[in-house]
Amino acid sequence: MSVFHRFVMMAVPLVPLMACSDDCGNRIVSRIDAPGGARSAVLFQRDCGATTGFSTQVSILSGGQAPAGRGNAFIADADHGAARRGAWGGPWAEIRWLRADHLEVRYAPGSRIFLKRETVSGVRVSYRPANE
């Protein structure tokens, strides 16, 4: 058996373990409670290490919870400098509640968007580039 084949046979079982590892960290930029306080919208920076840039993410959570893992409503990066960055390093964005069941996310034009869900946990989410 060649060295290559031995390497493949040893490495393949490790792939699922590597996929489960999450060396990313979240830093909360802003948190806004919905009217009534049942939910919170959290805008945060997610940093997954030196090989990736900072991303800006939004999660809608039960009041008081902290984001764990990736955002559940919005995920974007600055697309290699195409979008204006916020003070936290990811693309600029802001959040505001329009009603207890409606959140608005404004974001920097040029952001590369990976996730933009229209409904999260019964909350309608509207998106608007900041130049509008």
Query: Is the CB of residue 85 less than 8 Å from the CB of residue 106?
Result: no
Can you give the pLDDT at residue 8?
46
Question: Dihedral through CA 80, CA 27, CA 108, CA 111, nearest 10?
Answer: 40
Any idea which of 16-20, 39-43, 75-79, 126-130 has the lowest mean pLDDT? Answer: 16-20
Number of Cβ within a 10 Å radius of residue 19: 8
66-117 pLDDT, tens digit per residue, is 899 999 999 999 999 999 999 999 999 999 999 999 999 999 999 999 999 9
Q: Residue 52's pLDDT band (boundaries 50, 70, 90)?
A: confident
Per the DSSP assignment, residues forming a β-bridge with 85 are: 91
N-terminal to C-terminal alpha carbon distance within the chain: 63
pTM value?
A: 0.81
Q: How far apart are CA 46 and CA 39, in angstroms?
A: 21
Q: Please say if the pLDDT value at position 15 is more than 60.
A: no
What would the mean pLDDT of 7-32 be, rounded to a whole number?
65
